[in-house]
Chain A
Amino acid sequence: MAVSAKTPAPPVPKRQRSRREQRNDGGTAVSTYGLLAPMLILLGVLFLAPLYYIFLFSVGLKRFSPTDALASLNGELNSFSTGLWSKLVSVDVTVMLPGLNFNVPVLLIGIFFLVLLVAAVTANRIPEYGNWLVGIAFVLLLAPFLTIPAGNNLLRLLELSSDGDYMRLFFKSVTMAMTSSVTAVLIAIPVAYFLAFCVGKSKYTWLLIVIAPFLTSYLLRVFAWKVILGDQGLINSGLTSIGLIDEPLTFLIYSQFTVIVVLTYAWVPFICLPIFLAFETIDRRLLEAAMDLGATRLQAFRKISLPIIAPGIVAAFLFVFIPSIGEYITPTLVGGTQGTMYGQSLASQFVGGAFNWQFGSVMSLFLLGVVLLLTFATARFLRAGGGGL
């Protein structure tokens, strides 16, 4: 880098330029990797090494107890074993379709969802009917999980055997995360549409006003919902005072409903951003041309806007779904016993009642695997919708 530019002017200008580009583009290998080194070392020590440790724990190569004797007393693994993994995933699922009941191992269900995921991500490359395939795959993927918060319809469709408590909890968390992310996207789309097309020059200021709550304390926003939905909260005391109800509505607080509402609320401001950015990339002249050619606004939206914003919408969905599925702060504060999630059970293996570091490691890696799989399968959507993310 410290090469001086005071070299005598070379006779051929073209050559001079190529040398200059080399200096600026290539730098020296030492300086390039020297600048990258701190980040790579940090990520290696504080990101890859912990994951390696959690792997060691999950297969019994490391244990919590200081001695072998104590470990066997505490029921910990002492040597390599995949036993804890099979404890987590070897669960039978009873699929209950109308007039049809059968048992399937949960692994097969997992593979089925994986195939659907791959289909959903890749099918639009197939000419002609590919887009329909994408749509059908997505509907099949989402359908079992989409619930109106009161019930748990996945479990009505698929009943897990009784020793599958962790898996049951996992699917319940997926259902809750799925419901809140779809709701959040459905709320964010009109908001982003409004910001992108209806507010003129001040749209960036309004966008900031929408996003700002996301940057304030997450804990407090969760807590404030307790004040709104609690037994003596805004809604219950309001409804009681105008005489609509005598008893407070109990489903409002400490239930799945509460967790879903709060998760949706917490993430909506954030995902307005990718959807807004997607709307921004639409060239309005395309829409004008479509309408000049006789299309209605709905047709113009469906044929022009929707394909352009689709990656942004998928990205937005994932931005809510991924953090929600491992959530444990929100269910602890507002979920009560009904709204428990996988993340809480996971955390309790390390700092709470259950206290089994090895099994907790298995649960962590399982969650991580699902999330990373989802991320890699949809990476191109994230790249398109997340501005380089």
Chain B
Amino acid sequence: MARDSSTFVVISPWGKRLLTAFFVVFLLVLYLPTVLLVIFSFNDGTVAAFPLEGLTTKYYGLAFNSEEIRKALGASIWVGLGAAAIATLIALMASYPLARRNVRGKALISALMLVPLVVPTVVLGVSLLLLFQKGPGQVGLGLTRIMVAHVVIAIPFAVLILLPRIASIDRRLEEAAYDLGATGLQTFRLVMLPLIVPSIISAFLISFVFSIDEVVIASFLSSDQVTYPVYLYSGLKFPEKTQTLIPVATIMIVISFVLAFGAEAIRRYGDRRLVGK
């Protein structure tokens, strides 16, 4: 009854019904495209259009026998894992002093770190293209270049996950470790690390999910071997190619959902553990 009365304060019973209806419609529209893609992955036609022409799983087979798709997927996973690992490591190193110490110019460093998030990706993409093609050494393009470019954008995400967690750990735990004779590294490994492992995994997964879906920068920086999103993007421009792309896409969507919910579940597990201690 207590909860009802507090809900009553913010919304009338009729308003609540209306809002519930709105929310239900919103969720339906939100998930409609995903559901349609899953349906069309089993469609026995050559173009993704209505009416459906019977169900088949042959495009799943076709997709997985395609050398191009497998190579693109492999490239994407490699780029994603590399970018996520580098970004998480660098973000972890940077988060600790930003959370704990009086760094001179902290505001400037934070701003510099976050700015890549608001720079349009197309600008970031072309500027890196110029640097790699015409800059010192003319390093050229390729998958490792895509990977390091993704690190630049993944770092702010990772720091935004890691920094609040490190800041929320009770300082006295570290102080106790120092007083008991632990070195800085030991303190980190034995006291901090167990507490922030869930956030590290969460940061890694978010970076990976970002990288494996990134198309703008990747399309500017890829040379002969493209990543999966770039392959998908070039395929989606031609209706006749799309039907073989949808099955892999469906699987990727499912994986993204699993990773997203997994990252969140791990983060919450970490929260609970921290509160428990």
Contacts and interface: CB of A to CB of B under 8 A. Distances in A.
B74 interface: no
B179 A20 contact: yes
Interface string B182-201: 11110000000000000000
B112 A27 contact: no
B21 to A, nearest CB: 10
B276 interface: no
B122 A1 contact: no
Contacts of A332: 237
A215 B249 CA distance: 13
A283 to B, nearest CB: 11
Contacts of A364: 122-123, 126-127
Name A's interface SS: helix
A218 B20 CA distance: 27
Interface string B224-268: 000001001100110000100000010011001101110010000
Contacts of A210: 27, 30
B273 interface: no
A234 interface: yes
Contacts of B113: 39, 43
B151 to A, nearest CB: 7
A133 B99 CA distance: 38
A197 interface: yes
A277 interface: no
Contacts of B23: 190-191, 194-195
B40 interface: yes
Interface in B124-142: 124, 126-131, 134-135
B163 to A, nearest CB: 8
Interface string A232-251: 11100110000000000000
A217 B94 contact: no
B272 interface: no
A25 interface: yes
Contacts of A228: 32-33, 36
Tier of interface size on chain A = 35 or more
Given A25-B100, A26-B101, A364-B123, A216 B253 contact: yes
A179 B55 CA distance: 39
B20 A194 contact: yes
B26 A389 contact: no
B84 to A, nearest CB: 14
A234 B40 CA distance: 12
Interface in A18-33: 20, 23-27, 31-33
A85 interface: no
B168 interface: no
A12 interface: no
B10 A287 contact: yes
A31 B26 contact: no
Nearest to A218: B213
A367 B120 contact: yes
Interface stretch (A49-57, A103-111, A116-124, A150-158): A49-57
Of B23, B182, B242, most buried by chain A (CB within 10 Å of CB) is B23
Interface of A: 1-2, 4-6, 20, 23-27, 31-33, 35-36, 38-40, 42-43, 46-47, 49-51, 53-54, 57, 62, 64, 187, 190-191, 193-195, 197-198, 200, 208-213, 215-228, 230-234, 237-238, 265, 268-269, 284, 287-288, 291, 297, 300, 322-323, 325-329, 332-333, 343, 346-347, 350-351, 357, 360-361, 364-365, 367-368, 371-372, 375, 387-389
Interface of B: 3, 6-7, 9-12, 15-16, 19-20, 22-23, 26-27, 29-34, 36-37, 40, 47-51, 89-91, 93-94, 96-98, 100-103, 109, 112-124, 126-131, 134-135, 148-149, 151-152, 155, 160, 163-164, 171, 174-175, 178-185, 209, 213, 215-216, 219-220, 229, 232-233, 236-237, 242, 249, 252-253, 256-257, 259-261, 264
21 contacts: A1-B184, A4-B183, A20-B175, A24-B175, A36-B93, A47-B152, A64-B134, A195-B23, A208-B260, A215-B256, A217-B252, A218-B215, A225-B33, A232-B49, A233-B50, A265-B30, A287-B10, A346-B126, A367-B123, A388-B160, A389-B114
